[in-house]
Structure 1
């Protein structure tokens, strides 16, 4: 589960629209162990020169990176806890080197009502929380992609029937999608409108 969550957050630098941006942990135990193992693994990623083939953290121009960093900071209220900070040894997740900036992988522990819980940013960023006042399914409504890790796949039925969730991945990374099926539809869906009729002479009257 830790490896799936880690790859879902950090794949391709966390820049993809179906990278994982939030985790709802509904297990009865081992929450702290899962949270800390994930945060430690994320914090172990180091910024490398973008020409280095082992580089996993995308480099950014400094001004946009600073602006995004300040914005994320402004969204972190007193109830938000940076779990990666204790493994990185610093609560700073902006790294500047040789004119390039890096937003370091970040895992924030948040409450269900926290405004930042559903935020998405173009780097390896994620939030994690345990549901108390809500059902877990309520907290993932209106999602582009949901990864459901479970010992009982049949429990994903409610997610599969929820029209507000575009994609459901059961025990798999959220980015494992078929590129032949774009999640925002095909271009033809926007250029044309479909209409059904039982009139055989439709082509004659539409000329």
Structure 2
């Protein structure tokens, strides 16, 4: 089995406590070392003492690490072996993992775009800038150590903490025990490219020790469900990353038939496991034809093992898949099932099951199901009218608004709980390097100071 060591300030560390990671069919795939509490405390202290690389050296190291991550053998695995392992263990289709590999590499190679775009236009990057002689705003870190409790639903989620390292923070990553392969590979590549053992560390832990990582860091980012968001909502040091609840709004003057491809792509691309996948579709008028068209297209997607090149849907062990099926049936009670009403767990015969798509029609834009996000293509289609307004669209990571109503667009852009607004025929998973995902991370980690030299 593949050994995944702790990557600490003294190099790789193989602990006594290890956890076996299985693939979706229940076969052992790797052993993950778990860092004890004392080790975590010492590791964070070492990060705090370590100097930050100069900015030019950081950018160069990122470019080298990105290329290595996507193409070279790292920690004994070729890029192809790494991708196959992630797909086999997580059930994410191999093509999705491959695309995520390229996305992470590009994010690393273009990290300067995020760093530069996030900085206020009136601020300089260093007190050494000649503008500081007569007084200038300088973009400065608010701390030294940044910690991440990473998610395991998609490899590309690890783009989220790269900005902190690029800004000069030393970073401690606690990987998800569902998918530690991507952060292990990425941290190794970054260390070998120049950040060193004390610039970025990987600290796998159990739940009892996980809090120590956040407690000893200056700032942290935590991924999780609504319970995680509620737990950390009052802590100014922690940035919670909760469900995306991405949505699509189609107003009456817009034609929906020409954008069915966009609707289906928004719901199902990347196997439907991402926070940017649409889970809510709100229609001004009768939602039934829209729901029917989406269901017809999603029903045609094949059920295949995740490592099959043709796979497009997520796979998981049979028992969890059955639990998801039961959970969906309970939550969908009283709705009209256009797809998935007779079950979503399609067993493959090897101990795993494909999670098939589901489409349900709701009676109200305020139905509680619109806030429900699942780890497979699942859409809730609801009616919407002008009286409902922006309220059903709140708490949304990405909103695609298919409308020509400029006043409505003004309201959507002004709504604080909608992170991103795409106007027109644009799928919700669309992203571009250099543009914010849920705001720039630098907005949380940096501040301006007035300097005069």
Q: Shorter-chain-normalised TM-score: which range? A: 0.7 to 0.9
In the TM superposition, residue 187 of structure 1 has moved relative to its aligned partner by 4.9
How far, CA to CA, are the matches of 2:279 and 2:368 in structure 1? Answer: 13
Structure in which a larger fraction of residues adopt strand: 2
Output aligned runs, 1:47-196, within 5 Å.
Answer: 47-77=303-333, 79-85=334-340, 91-98=342-349, 99-112=351-364, 113-131=366-384, 134-150=387-403, 152=404, 154=406, 155-171=408-424, 172-190=426-444, 192-196=445-449
Indicate conservation of the 8 Å contact 2:325/2:343, yes or no. no
1:4-48 per-residue CA deviation (whole Å, 9 max, x = no partner) reads: 111100001101111000011014x6x432221111111111211
Secondary structure, aligned partner of 2:269: helix
In the TM superposition, residue 156 of structure 1 has moved relative to its aligned partner by 1.6
In the TM superposition, residue 2 of structure 1 has moved relative to its aligned partner by 1.5
In the TM superposition, residue 200 of structure 1 has moved relative to its aligned partner by 4.1
How far, CA to CA, are the matches of 2:369 and 2:399 in structure 1? Answer: 18
| RCO comparison, higher one (Cα < 8 Å, 6+) | 1
In the TM superposition, residue 91 of structure 1 has moved relative to its aligned partner by 1.4
Indicate conservation of the 8 Å contact 2:271/2:314, yes or no. yes
How far, CA to CA, are the matches of 2:353 and 2:387 in structure 1? Answer: 38
How far, CA to CA, are the matches of 1:14 and 1:92 in structure 2? Answer: 17
How far, CA to CA, are the matches of 2:412 and 2:442 in structure 1? Answer: 28
In the TM superposition, residue 101 of structure 1 has moved relative to its aligned partner by 1.0
In the TM superposition, residue 130 of structure 1 has moved relative to its aligned partner by 0.5
Taking only aligned residues, the RMSD between alpha carbons, in angstroms, comes to 2.3
* Residue 290 of structure 2 is aligned to residue 17 of structure 1: no
For structure 1, the residue ranges without an aligned partner over 5 or more in a row are 202-207
Kindly tell me: are residues 170 and 187 of structure 1, through their superposed partners in 2, closer, same or farther at Cα, counting changes over 3 Å?
closer
In the TM superposition, residue 73 of structure 1 has moved relative to its aligned partner by 2.0
* Residue 313 of structure 2 is aligned to residue 43 of structure 1: no
Compute the TM-score of the two structures, normalised by the length of structure 2. 0.39
Structure 1 stretch displaced more, 121-130 or 68-77:
68-77
In the TM superposition, residue 181 of structure 1 has moved relative to its aligned partner by 3.0
Q: Which has the larger radius of gyration?
A: 2
Compute the TM-score of the two structures, normalised by the length of structure 1. 0.82
